[in-house]
Amino acid sequence: MITCFDIGGSAIKCAVATADGQIGVLHRVPTPAHDFAAFTTAMQALIVAGGPSRGVAISIAGVIDPADGRIKCANIPGIDGRILADDLAAVFGLPVWIINDADSFALAEAQAGAARGHANVFGLILGTGVGGGLVIGGRLIGGPGGFAGEWGHGPVAAQFAGTPPQAIPRFRCGCGQTGCLDTIGGARGLERLHLTLHQASLDSRAIIDAWQAGDADAELTISCFIDLLSGPLAMLVNTLGASVLPVGGGLANSAPLIARLDQAVRAAILRKTDKPIMVPGQSGAEPGLIGAAWLGLGKLEGAHE
């Protein structure tokens, strides 16, 4: 057995995983975001409660630099800048493996979700912002700085989109650049587009509900949203040779939205297919824990080869 964690700024979720990747009972406690000692104490209690463990696998909302293992995690200041796997291993007396939450989703989908049996998989996150992870041949692909899969950053957002074409401002991104897809691609981006186009503030769920009810303003917003994302996603599919893009995050809860985005992407790629490429994730309610489980199990298996 291994102990799996899915850690965010507000909660630590934990479960035990068996050798076949099955997840046990979920336990949840608040995240001590500012105190590293309290953070490790909370995790240690969950490890002990789960019984004997061969290691600890963690999915976390942060970026881990593969060069030195140092984590960048703005929403949990108590661990930010630490070589977290080493620090936790010293406390727990167990091997510790850490994976970014978007990478964890991609791995969960490749192993136990919509992408099972596919060689090249890009797990796509449409949540508050956008993110992703790449799995090729069953192996998670990293990269310098730990930024592989971060398709939402770079000054490439189109300045006209929708039917009829609308001028779209280039918004300043939190990464420091201007015109990133992250600024218009997630739930906050959808809301930003609607406000820009119609001077009306609605949350993303209300925009989607209005679109499905036939509202003309919402239809224009969705039209722009699809135009802005489908081209870059088509290039991503062409470049990676990905045969499926499972979608996670809050916007993936709208099957009609994902279906419309899928149609636009398939119309723009080189390989023509009648089968959906973009599909809602199917790995279950806890992809972070499932992805962490497969990471840890893979590490244990590799250690015995």
Q: Where are the beta strands (DSSP E) in the chain?
A: 2-7, 11-17, 27-30, 56-60, 63-64, 71-72, 96-100, 120-126, 130-136, 139-141, 160-161, 166-167, 245-248, 278-280
- pLDDT at residue 209 in the model: 98
pLDDT above 60 (res 85): yes
18, 182, 231, 293, 300 from 304: Cα distances, Å? 17, 41, 44, 17, 7
Structure token digits, residue 231: 């081209």
What are the backbone angles phi and psi of residue 262, rounded to the nearest 5°?
-60, -45
Q: What is the pLDDT of residue 143?
A: 67
The mean predicted confidence, pLDDT, of the chain is 91
Q: Helix or strand or coil: residue 183?
A: helix
The Cβ-side half-sphere exposure at 100, using a 13 Å CA radius, reads 29
DSSP 8-class letter at 103: H
What is the domain partition of the chain in residue ranges? Answer: 2-104+285-303, 117-280
Q: pLDDT per residue over 211-227, tens digit each?
A: 999 999 999 999 999 99
- Same fold for the pair 2-104+285-303 and 117-280: yes
Q: Fold for domain 2-104+285-303?
A: Nucleotidyltransferase; domain 5 (3.30.420)
What's the pLDDT at 305? 47
Q: pLDDT band at 246, cuts 50/70/90? A: very high
User: pLDDT tens for residues 121-153?
Assistant: 999 999 988 989 999 888 888 766 567 888 999
Residue with tokens 């929403």: 75
pLDDT 10s digits, 156-212: 999 999 999 999 999 998 888 999 999 999 999 999 999 999 999 999 999 999 999
Residue 303: pLDDT band by 50, 70, 90 thresholds?
A: low
Tens-place pLDDT, residues 232-241: 999 999 999 8
Q: Which CATH number fits domain 117-280: 3.30.420.40, 3.40.50.720, 3.60.40.10, 3.40.50.10860?
A: 3.30.420.40
pTM over 0.75: yes
For residue 221 the two structure tokens come to 């917003």
